[in-house]
Amino acid sequence: MIDWVAFAIVAIVTWIAAMLIVTAYSFGVRLLAVARDEGKSTGLSKTGAYACFTVAGLIVAFGVVLIVPQLSEAILGMSSSH
């Protein structure tokens, strides 16, 4: 039997995580483009861009940790057994 509630939770969390990754990466690309176009105050734009890329990378890394059972057990202490 399919646990539809669990399925819906996984689908919603996956959708939200995907949107966060795309949004963070897009903001990073936009801030880098602004930093290259404007001759002034590029430091703040570049810092924001790198922060956005870091957030996107951390979300992806956390997803990998959740998917790989050995990493889940080692880092989060979560067991894959029910």
- Residue 59 belongs to some domain of the structure: yes
Query: Could you tell me the residue range of the domain that residue 71 belongs to?
Result: 21-76
Q: Does position 15 have pLDDT exceeding 70, yes or no?
A: yes
More confident residue, 30 or 43: 30
More confident residue, 19 or 36: 19
Q: Does position 82 have pLDDT exceeding 70, yes or no?
A: no
- The answer to whether 41 and 72 have CB atoms below 8 angstroms apart is no
- Residue 42 belongs to some domain of the structure: yes
Q: Does position 26 have pLDDT exceeding 70, yes or no?
A: yes
Query: How many domains, in total, are found in the chain?
Result: 1
Kindly report the pTM of this predicted structure.
Answer: 0.79
- Residue 46 belongs to some domain of the structure: yes
More confident residue, 15 or 42: 15
